[in-house]
Amino acid sequence: MSSGQAKAKAGIFGEGGDRRWLIASSCVALLVLAPLVSLILIAGRGSGDLWPHILAYVLPQALRDTAILLLGVGFVVVTLGAGLAWLVTAYEFPGRRIFDWALLLPLATPTYIVAYAYLDLMHPIGPVQTGLRALLGLTDPRALWFPDVRTMTGCILLLSFVLYPYVYLSTRAMFLMQAGSLLEAARTLGASRTRVFFRVALPLARPAIAVGASLALMEALNDIGASEFLGVQTLSVSIYSTWINRSNLPGAAQIALAMLAVVVALVLLERWARRRQRYVSQAQRARRAAPLQLTGWRAGLAIAIVSTPIFIGFILPAGHVAHEAFKRVRFAGFSPQIGQEILNTIAIASVATVLAMALGFLVASAARLSRAPVGGALLRVSSLGYAAPGTVLAIGLMTPLFALDNIIADSAERLFGISLGLLISGSGAALVYAYVARFLAISAGGVESGLAKLSPSLDQAARVLGQSAGGAMRRVQLPLIRPALGGAALLVFVDCMKELPATLLLRPLNFETLATHLYGEAARGTYEDGAVAATCIVLVGLVPVMMLARLSRRRAFAWDKSVEGVDPMARDLLLVEPAGAPDKPRGKA
């Protein structure tokens, strides 16, 4: 039999064990696609008399505000992220190694917590304005003009100071990879360091900047809490208000389709921005450019620059909510309601994490085992949920899950005479579904990265020794990629815990998580009552950030042979340099 005939006989799903893995992977891909298909069907029903109102008044303002917000956040995160990455890689100054990882700390504070904290801090009777009036001897709150944080400018700045680490992390890694010979050649030709940055380093880092900026913009688009708190009517806020306040699901679905179009445009723009960019690996690793030593006032200025985003994006909001939480607990004790919300948050996030990791392992393993291109295609389809904001997924899930609830309830009552009610939606299964569909890309990507480091000869040796495809995965590959699995699981868990839009729309009745409790308190203006929930979220969010920081600090001893024991996935994800000779700072500014 020829190879062409063998392929035809095997079909699109391959044969034997490969077929079973690919069929299972296809089911996972369909589960991710189902909400998006359902969204189109719901929107096609029409919103009746509400659509002219949406088209004339809601959608134009939402699109305008969303576009302004994305443009502003994109500009600020690129400027902050790329500038800070260059400063900590091209220059040496006191504390640089600490700032190198501390610049990641704003990732631990969700955007809605930062907005919540600054609304309280900058309130006319808040600590900032009260302190300024006391300093100036003023007693009337209206006697002192102060910029209002509840504006588009305030929203852009607050979101940017939380989301810039996406650009910083990817761009810093790219700057570390750039060969010192390229930068030094430009210096030899008379270019200043500023000119080298704009003409050589920055163009080479454009792919990394585009990736980081697209992630930051996706997070800004998905945000609902910060935008609503700060008075910005984005598409996410419009979807929520149309569904909850006007009880019109088709109208919300139509706005969600417009939001999905914005997401697709962002993805295409990111791909277009780096369409001609290629990475080239050299046989031998190029020497890094040595950082320039800063002294005197220049070193002080560098410290001030790198300290500012850490202070604004993490220290001030996290410190404020921690202080308010301490006062609240000291005055009223630890509320039993908060304890129940912590249990709810941990339970729902844990179930979603286990399912996401299991399904991510399945689709990544199917792509590795399959010799057919469909395996890789199914892996990519299964990762589409991460590009869809939580509000979009929630809208798409409502109709099919409610219909399934009704079918189950009718069947149970007809066959057994019992009433089950909303078995899926009422139990939180819909929320778990949304979490898994949205964050499956993280688990599948982590497993795929871990498997990519394993030689195919391991698979072949296991099969020669009599192991099936599943046995080889379970007994050989799974133990070897446990570090990758652990890192991915931690990221999925924290993302599930912080997710606000999908949780607001899909949670069962009388079911509160830390995120929804904080949202409710901030919406009512009772900021002090939400401080404990905000502090818990920040503390849990610190865990993955500290892991990233720990891996980032390994660059300091990556020039030692002990780096050979660092997990390859972690080294590749953060682009930690392999072992070599340390670069010494040279020159004086």
Tens digits of residue pLDDT in 110-156? 888 898 889 888 887 778 888 888 888 777 777 777 788 889 999 99
Q: What 8-state DSSP symbol labels residue 308?
A: H
Tens digits of residue pLDDT in 175-203? 776 655 566 665 565 666 677 777 677 77
Tens digits of residue pLDDT in 418-446? 777 677 777 788 899 999 988 888 888 77
d(CA 411, CA 403): 12
Question: What was the pLDDT predicted at 79?
Answer: 93
Alpha-carbon distances of 9 from 16, 465, 469, 568, rounded to whole Å: 12, 27, 20, 38
Residue type, 358: A
Question: What was the pLDDT predicted at 314?
Answer: 92
For the segment 39-43, the average pLDDT, to the nearest whole number, is 82
pLDDT at residue 59 tops 70: yes
403-412: long-range contacts (C-beta < 8 A, 24 or more apart)?
none
Residue type, 457: S
For the segment 503-513, the average pLDDT, to the nearest whole number, is 85
List Cβ neighbours of 76 (8 Å cut-off, separation of 6 or more).
156, 157, 160, 164
Confidence of residue 459 (pLDDT cuts 50, 70, 90): low
List Cβ neighbours of 515 (8 Å cut-off, separation of 6 or more).
110, 112, 225, 345, 497, 498, 499, 500, 503, 533, 537
For the segment 33-41, the average pLDDT, to the nearest whole number, is 85
Residue type, 226: A
Strands 586-588 and 91-92: unpaired
Q: Measured at the alpha carbon of residue 313, what is the angle toward residues 307 and 315, in degrees to the nearest 5?
A: 70
d(CA 345, CA 8): 49
Give the tokens for residue 296.
Answer: 């005197």
Strand locations in 259-347 (E): 292-293
- Using a cut of 0.75, tell me whether the model's pTM lies above it: yes
Architecture of domain 72-233+293-312 in CATH? Orthogonal Bundle (1.10)
Question: What was the pLDDT predicted at 532?
Answer: 84
- Domain boundaries defined on the chain: 18-43+330-551, 72-233+293-312
Question: What was the pLDDT predicted at 303?
Answer: 93
pLDDT at residue 224 tops 90: no
pLDDT at residue 305 tops 50: yes
Superfamily of domain 18-43+330-551: MetI-like (1.10.3720.10)
Q: Measured at the alpha carbon of residue 110, what is the angle toward residues 386 and 272, in degrees to the nearest 5?
A: 40
Q: Which of 5-14, 228-237, 299-308, 481-490 has the highest mean pLDDT?
A: 299-308
Tens digits of residue pLDDT in 242-289? 877 777 778 888 888 888 888 777 777 766 766 665 544 444 444 556
Same fold, 18-43+330-551 and 72-233+293-312: yes
Question: What was the pLDDT predicted at 558?
Answer: 44
d(CA 532, CA 329): 8
Q: Find tokens 């640089």 and name the residue.
A: 96
pLDDT at residue 304 tops 90: yes
Least confident of 51-60, 306-315, 545-554: 545-554
Neighbour count for residue 337 (Cβ, 10 Å): 13
Task: Report the mean per-residue pLDDT for the chain.
Answer: 77
pLDDT at residue 562 tops 60: no
Question: What was the pLDDT predicted at 1?
Answer: 45
Query: What is the chain's length?
Result: 589
The proportion of the chain whose per-residue pLDDT surpasses 90, expressed as a percent, equals 10
Question: What was the pLDDT predicted at 284?
Answer: 44
pLDDT at residue 569 tops 90: no
